[in-house]
Structure 1
Amino acid sequence: MSLKDQITEDMKSAMRAKEAAKLNTIRLITSAIKQKEVDERITVTDTQVLAIIEKMIKQRKDSITQFEAGNRQDLADIEKAELVVLTAYMPAGLSDAEINAEITAAVSASGALGPQDMGKVMAILKPKLAGRADLTAVSVLVKVALAPKV
Structure 2
Amino acid sequence: MSLKDQVIEDMKTAMRAKDSERLGTIRLLLAAAKQKEVDERVVLSNADMIAIVDKLIKQRKDSVEAFTKAQRMDLADKESAEIVVLQAYLPQRLNAQEVSAAVQAIVTSLGAKGPGDMGKVMAAVKAQLAGKADMAMVSKAVKIALAS
**TM-score range, shorter-chain basis?**
over 0.9
Q: Distance in 2 between matches of 1:89 and 1:127?
A: 20
Asked whether 1:4 is paired with 2:24, we answer no
Number of positions where the alignment pairs a residue of Structure 1 with one of Structure 2? 148
**Aligned 8 A contact 2:64 2:80 in 1:** yes
Which SS does the other structure have where 1:131 is aligned? coil
CA RMSD, Structure 1 to Structure 2 (Å):
1.1
Give the TM-score taking structure 2 as reference length. Answer: 0.95
What is the identity, as a one-letter code, of the residue corresponding to 2:35?
Answer: Q
Q: Counterpart in 2 of 1:128? A: 128
Q: CA deviation at 1:127?
A: 2.3
Structure 1, gaps ≥5 residues long:
none
Q: CA deviation at 1:136?
A: 2.0
Asked whether 1:57 is paired with 2:57, we answer yes
Q: Distance in 2 between matches of 1:96 and 1:64?
A: 23
- Runs ≥4 residues deviating over 6 A: none
Q: Distance in 2 between matches of 1:113 and 1:74?
A: 47
Structure 2, gaps ≥5 residues long:
none
Instruction: Please list the CA deviations of residues 92-128 of structure 1 after superposition, one character each: whole Å capped at 9, or x if unmatched.
Output: 1111221111011111221212221111211111122
Map 1:1-150 onto structure 2 (within 5 A).
1-147=1-147, 149=148
Q: Distance in 2 between matches of 1:25 and 1:96?
A: 28
